[in-house]
Amino acid sequence: MNADLQELHEQITREILEERQRDMAQAIAAKRSAAKRAEARAAKESKALAALGLDVANLEALDRELTAESEAELLDIEARMDSLSEATAHDEVGVDVEMGFLPEGAQLITPSWVAAFSDLDLQDANTAASAIEAQTLLSGGTCKNYYNWAKGAGTGIAGTGVGKIQSWIDFGFWFKPPASRFYSIRPLFRFRGYVIVRADDSWYDSKFARVTGSAWTNVHQYNWKGWNHVDVYNVGDDNIDVNRREDLDRFTYNSYLLGGGDWTYIRCTIGLWAYARGGGSYAKNDFSTGSANYLCVPYVYIV
């Protein structure tokens, strides 16, 4: 990487980090405000149940018993999915093969930078009743192992007992347009892994779980051109018991007006969202376990 390109790369990296910090500050403020509102609603719900003659303490004890049973079942499910991940063959990315199918005049570029971040730092006193976790991701390479999960707690009434996490895996590409015109930029987003989504909602509680995997694209040349995104999978409900593999390839179409002769940075981001509300509720995106699970944006082709 020459000196000019290195300087530009460092500039864009700083902008990405600043963007993350702004997003974090906004998310923390919103999270604390939502937690205070949820506590107030939960107190009102408990009073309403007591007014109906229902013993809230007995309902909570029943919920704890059911949650313990759900935890035991979850261990078996994760063990089974992990075993399946070991048994599934790791398919090769096949960049060389793909180049033979490119349209005339198209270019294929591979990533030069990979990084990840999440809102794990948002854990504070307001989320003591829930748990969230993410795996550290090292930079470099074209495919990465990554997982996140969220676990709920309590009855979930009025939005309490929520565990949630949003993770982002960034793949960066460099491209120098030969002429000034609109370019079609089509990254391949590859998901190889499994999801677990569990929630058992009853009349006396409010439980829910969801996982989402999304594909995002943005371009920087002189300035950021704007995000395009699509949900590749979105699985969630209040009564749900889903554990399945998500082995998906998705090309996305993006069009940007670029100036000829100046370096352009293409940012392709995979988003993983996990949300669980209420005891026994659990949501997991696992693209890490075993040799079969990974996330990848192996290339972008440009026309």
**C-alpha triplet 196, 124, 152: angle, nearest 5°:** 25
Whether the Cβ atoms of residue 297 and residue 191 lie closer than 8 Å to each other: no
- The secondary structure element, H or E, covering residue 70 is helix 56-87
Tell me, what's the pLDDT at 122? Answer: 47
The length of the chain is 303
pTM value is 0.80
Distance from C-alpha of 208 to C-alpha of 236, rounded to nearest angstrom: 7
Q: pLDDT tens for residues 244-280? A: 999 999 999 999 999 999 999 999 999 999 999 888 8
Question: Do 277 and 173 form a contact (C-beta atoms < 8 A)?
Answer: no
Rg (the chain; Cα; Å): 22
CA distance 111 to 191: 16
Give mean pLDDT in consecutive 10-residue pieces for the chain, a chain of 303 residues.
Answer: 77 78 67 64 63 60 65 80 69 59 84 80 45 58 86 75 88 94 96 92 75 94 92 91 93 96 94 89 91 90 94
pLDDT digits (tens, 9 = 90+) for 54-71: 555 665 665 666 666 677
Type of residue at 239: N
Q: What is the largest CA-CA distance in the chain?
A: 75
Q: For the range 25-30, what are the long-range contacts, defined as Cβ-Cβ under 8 Å and sequence gap of 24 or more? A: 27/119, 27/122, 28/122, 28/124
108 dihedral zone (left: phi>0; alpha: psi -120 to 50; beta): beta
